């Protein structure tokens, strides 16, 4: 996986002060995307051990609430193995930090169930990633539904999903933050 950059202090992409990992590569290509330079999977630089340590170090600061995974598209097929490793490392090394993830996919409750195989390579990996997150913002950005007054999303069709509540209820539950 390649990444575009690591933003070490951000307040626009989730609750609190956050670090954002901007991954390269997107297969959704929303019209009006705020970051089309991230669509190319070969953009940026490889996410290697040094990048992982830079991310963990930035997240270790006491004023940082958590990690946001954005891009590009963190759940693009090519990005799944590395995104899984990032989430796993944060959960193991910094369990007090929360994880937000942005996806252009519209999710269903069973997408968060790590025991459900939805039938394609890496499907379980995607479910494991989603289950490690605290909040997922889903849905394609829709330029016709753009609303700059919305918190943490660009268009009114996008949902801010509370992952723990969704898993417990086995239905999509919105974040009330």
Structure tokens belonging to residue 68: 């946001």
Furthest C-alpha separation in the chain? 41
| 7-21, 71-85, 113-127: least confident range | 113-127
Q: What is the CATH number of domain 2-169?
A: 3.20.20.70
In the predicted structure, residue 123 carries a pLDDT above the cut 90? no
Q: From CA 10, how far away is CA 169, in angstroms rounded?
A: 31
Instruction: Enumerate the domain spans of the chain.
Output: 2-169
Determine whether 173 is exposed, middle or buried from the number of CB atoms within 10 Å of its CB (0-12, 13-18, 19+). middle
Which residues, at least 6 apart from 49, have a Cβ–Cβ distance to it below 8 Å?
Answer: none
Report the mean per-residue pLDDT for the chain. Answer: 92
How far apart are the C-alpha atoms of 156 and 148, rounded to whole Å? 9
- pTM for this prediction: 0.93
Shortest CA distance to 172 belongs to which of 111, 97, 98, 100?
Answer: 111
**The pLDDT of residue 117 is above 60:** no
- Containing 53, the helix (H) or strand (E) segment is helix 49-59
Tell me: pLDDT of 118 over 90: no
83-104 tens-digit pLDDT: 999 999 999 999 999 999 999 9
| Start-to-end CA span in the chain (Å) | 31
| Res 177: pLDDT | 86
Q: What is the pLDDT of residue 115?
A: 62
pLDDT score, position 76? 94
**Mean pLDDT, to the nearest integer, of 47-64?**
98
Whole-angstrom distance, CA of residue 91 vs CA of residue 87: 6
């Amino acid at each position: 996986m390649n990444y575009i950059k690591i933003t070490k202090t951000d307040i626009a992409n989730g609750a609190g002060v956050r670090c954002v990992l901007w991954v390269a590569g997107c297969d959704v290509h929303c019209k009006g995307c705020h970051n089309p330079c991230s669509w190319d999977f070969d953009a940026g630089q490889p996410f290697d051990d040094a990048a992982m340590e830079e991310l963990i170090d930035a997240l270790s600061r006491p004023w940082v609430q958590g990690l946001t995974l954005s891009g590009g598209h963190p759940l693009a097929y090519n990005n799944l193995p590395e995104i899984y490793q990032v989430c796993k490392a944060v959960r193991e090394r910094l369990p007090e930090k929360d994880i937000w993830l942005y996806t252009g996919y519209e999710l269903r409750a069973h997408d968060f169930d790590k025991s459900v195989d939805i039938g394609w390579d890496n499907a379980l990996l995607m479910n494991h990633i989603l289950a490690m997150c605290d909040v997922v913002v889903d849905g394609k950005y829709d330029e016709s539904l753009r609303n700059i007054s919305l918190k943490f999303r660009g268009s009114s069709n996008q949902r801010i999903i509370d992952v723990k509540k969704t898993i417990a209820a086995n239905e999509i539950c919105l974040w009330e933050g």
